[in-house]
C-alpha cells in the first residue's frame, strides 16, 4: 500500500467515497445513505436537490445527458474524483452552486440564429400584428424572449421589429422582455458588446446602423438597446405566468428557442402551458429549429409555416 502524503491522499479519497469521512464530519449525506435512498444514480439527484435548495432552480427534470455533462465539467474543474466529493464541495462552497447553474445552462446562441425564422417574422408575422394593432388603435407591441442567453436573439428581434415599424410608418411603443436563469449571460446581454466574429450573421446595413463599432468590438446602439429589458426568470417556475418585469404578460410574440430541447417531456409541456397562458389570443410562439410544440397543446395553436416551428395561439 502507498505510504507518505500520497498514501494519505488515497486513504482520504477512499474514505470520502465510502462515506466514512462524510459521517465523521457530519456531512449532510454519506454515500451508503445516498445509495440506500436512490441507488447509484441518486447521487446526481442529491446534487440537484442541494442545488435547488440553494438557488431555487430545479434541474431534476432536465435531460439526464446534459445534467451529467454539466456536473462532469464542474467535477473536472475542481478535480473532484467522485460525486460524493463534489456533493461535499457543493454543500460548503456557496459560489459552487452558481458555477453549477452556469455549467448546466448552455448559453450557445448567435445573432439571427436560424435566419429563416427572422425572415418569417419580418415579412409575415410582425407586419400582420402591427397592421391589426394600427386598425384597432392599439399602439403597444409586447414580446418575451425566454432563455435569451447573452442577448443576441432579443437584439435580432428588436432590429427586425424596428425595420418593420419604419416600413409601416406608424408609431409604436415596443417592449421586448428578455429573460434567462444565467446571471452572467444576463450581464453580458445587458452590456450589449460583441466581438466582430460574433456578428457574421448580421446584414451589413443593420450592423452599420444598429451595432456601431467601438474599438475592436461592436456595441448595441441606443435605438435597439432601449427596446429590450433583461431580467432573471426561471421558465420552469409555475408560480408566475409571465416574467415579473413584464407584470402581466399579454405578449404578441414569445420566442423560446433551443431551451425545450434540454428539458424532459413532462417539463416541456408545463413550460409551454405557461407560455401559452402568457400569450394573447392570436399571439405567436416561436420555438427552436429542432423543437416542436408538444401534442398536448396543439389544439390551442395552429402551425403558421410547414417548415418552421412558429405557432399562432387560437382566439
Ligand atoms: C442554448 S441557449 C439558447 C439561446 C437562444 N434562445 C437561442 O436560441 O439562440 C439556452 C438558454 O436557455 C437558458 N435556460 C435554461 N433553462 C432555463 C430556465 N429554466 N429558465 C430560463 N432560461 C433557461 C440557458 O441559461 C441558456 O441561456
Calculate how far, in angstroms, residue 177's C-alpha sits from the geometric centre of ligand 1: 14
Give the mutation target among 147, 187, 270 for probing the ligand 1 site: most ligand atoms within 8 A of CB. 147
Classify residue 197 by burial, with Cβ atoms within 10 Å: 0-12, 13-18, 19+: exposed
Buried residues in 121-146 as b, exposed as e (16+ CB within 10 A): bbeebbeebbeebeeeeeeebbbbbb
Give the pLDDT confidence score for residue 307 in this predicted structure.
Answer: 82
List pLDDT tens digits, range 188-235. Answer: 999 999 999 999 889 999 999 999 998 989 999 999 999 999 999 999
Whether the CB of 236 sits within 6 Å of ligand 1: yes
* pLDDT beyond 60 at 14: no
List pLDDT tens digits, range 131-173. Answer: 999 999 999 999 999 999 999 999 999 999 999 999 988 889 9
> What integer is the mean pLDDT of 92-117?
93
Nearest ligand 1 atom to the CA of 255 is: 6
* pLDDT beyond 90 at 305: no
Give the pLDDT confidence score for residue 7 in this predicted structure.
Answer: 56
Q: Taking the domains of the chain in order of start, what are their residue ranges?
A: 4-104, 115-313
Give the pLDDT confidence score for residue 93 in this predicted structure.
Answer: 85
Nearest ligand 1 atom to the CA of 185 is: 27
Higher pLDDT, 77 or 19: 77
β strands within 198-242, DSSP E: 213-214, 217-219, 228-232
Give the pLDDT confidence score for residue 108 in this predicted structure.
Answer: 94
pTM for this prediction: 0.87
State which H helix or E strand residue 169 sits in: none
Nearest ligand 1 atom to the CA of 235 is: 20
Give the pLDDT confidence score for residue 2 in this predicted structure.
Answer: 45
Give the pLDDT confidence score for residue 39 in this predicted structure.
Answer: 38
Whether the CB of 257 sits within 6 Å of ligand 1: yes
List pLDDT tens digits, range 54-101. Answer: 888 999 999 999 999 999 999 999 999 999 999 999 988 879 999 999
| Residue 315: C-alpha distances to residues 134, 183, 248, 281 (Å) | 19, 36, 18, 5
CA–CA separation, 198 and 25 (whole Å): 48
Give the pLDDT confidence score for residue 85 in this predicted structure.
Answer: 92
Calculate how far, in angstroms, residue 285's C-alpha sits from the geometric centre of ligand 1: 15
List pLDDT tens digits, range 24-60. Answer: 444 444 444 444 344 337 899 999 999 999 888 999 9
Q: Among 299, 271, 300, which Cα is nearest to 287's?
A: 271
What is the DSSP-derived secondary structure letter of residue 80? -
Give the pLDDT confidence score for residue 238 in this predicted structure.
Answer: 78
Check: CB of residue 267 under 8 Å from CB of residue 261: no
Give the pLDDT confidence score for residue 28 in this predicted structure.
Answer: 47
List pLDDT tens digits, range 232-263. Answer: 999 998 788 899 998 888 999 999 999 999 99
Query: Hey, whose CA ends up nearest to atom 7 of ligand 1?
Result: 109
* pLDDT beyond 60 at 298: yes
* pLDDT beyond 60 at 9: no
Homologous superfamily of 115-313: Vaccinia Virus protein VP39 (3.40.50.150)
Name the 3-class secondary structure at 23.
Answer: helix
CA–CA separation, 126 and 284 (whole Å): 10
Nearest ligand 1 atom to the CA of 113 is: 9
Q: Among 151, 121, 313, which Cα is nearest to 224's?
A: 151
- Residue 286: what are its φ and ψ, rounded to 5°? -115, 120
Q: Computed from CA positions of residues 30, 34, 36, 37, in that sequence, does the dihedral angle turn out positive or negative?
A: positive
Amino acid at each position: 500500500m502507498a505510504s507518505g502524503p500520497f498514501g494519505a491522499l488515497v486513504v482520504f479519497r477512499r474514505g470520502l467515497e465510502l462515506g466514512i469521512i462524510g459521517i465523521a464530519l457530519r456531512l449532510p449525506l454519506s454515500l451508503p445513505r445516498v445509495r440506500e435512498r436512490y441507488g447509484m444514480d441518486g447521487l446526481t439527484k442529491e446534487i440537484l436537490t442541494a442545488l435547488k435548495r440553494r438557488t431555487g432552480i430545479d434541474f431534476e427534470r432536465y435531460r439526464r445527458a446534459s445534467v451529467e455533462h454539466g456536473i462532469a465539467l464542474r467535477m473536472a474543474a475542481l478535480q473532484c474524483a467522485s460525486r460524493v466529493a463534489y456533493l461535499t464541495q457543493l454543500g460548503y462552497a456557496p459560489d459552487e452552486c452558481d458555477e453549477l447553474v452556469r455549467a448546466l445552462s448552455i448559453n450557445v446562441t448567435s445573432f439571427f440564429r436560424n435566419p429563416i425564422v427572422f425572415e418569417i417574422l419580418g415579412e409575415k408575422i410582425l407586419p400582420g400584428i402591427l397592421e391589426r394593432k394600427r386598425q384597432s388603435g392599439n399602439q403597444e407591441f409586447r414580446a418575451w424572449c425566454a432563455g435569451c442567453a447573452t442577448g443576441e436573439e432579443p437584439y435580432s428581434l428588436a432590429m427586425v421589429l424596428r425595420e418593420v415599424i419604419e416600413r409601416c410608418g406608424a408609431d409604436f411603443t415596443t417592449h421586448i422582455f428578455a429573460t434567462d436563469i444565467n446571471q452572467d449571460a444576463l450581464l453580458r446581454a445587458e452590456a450589449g458588446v460583441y466581438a466582430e466574429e460574433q456578428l457574421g450573421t448580421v446584414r451589413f446595413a443593420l450592423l452599420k446602423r444598429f451595432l456601431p463599432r467601438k474599438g475592436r468590438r461592436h456595441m448595441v446602439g441606443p435605438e435597439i438597446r432601449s427596446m429590450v429589458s433583461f431580467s432573471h426568470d426561471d421558465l420552469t417556475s409555475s408560480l408566475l405566468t409571465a416574467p415579473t418585469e413584464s407584470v402581466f404578460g399579454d405578449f404578441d410574440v414569445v420566442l423560446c428557442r433551443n431551451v425545450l430541447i434540454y428539458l424532459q417531456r413532462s417539463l416541456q409541456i408545463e413550460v409551454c402551458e405557461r407560455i401559452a397562458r402568457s400569450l394573447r389570443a392570436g399571439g405567436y410562439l416561436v420555438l427552436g429549429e429542432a423543437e416542436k410544440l408538444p401534442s398536448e397543446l396543439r389544439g390551442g395553436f395552429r402551425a403558421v409555416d410547414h417548415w418552421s416551428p412558429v405557432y399562432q395561439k387560437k382566439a
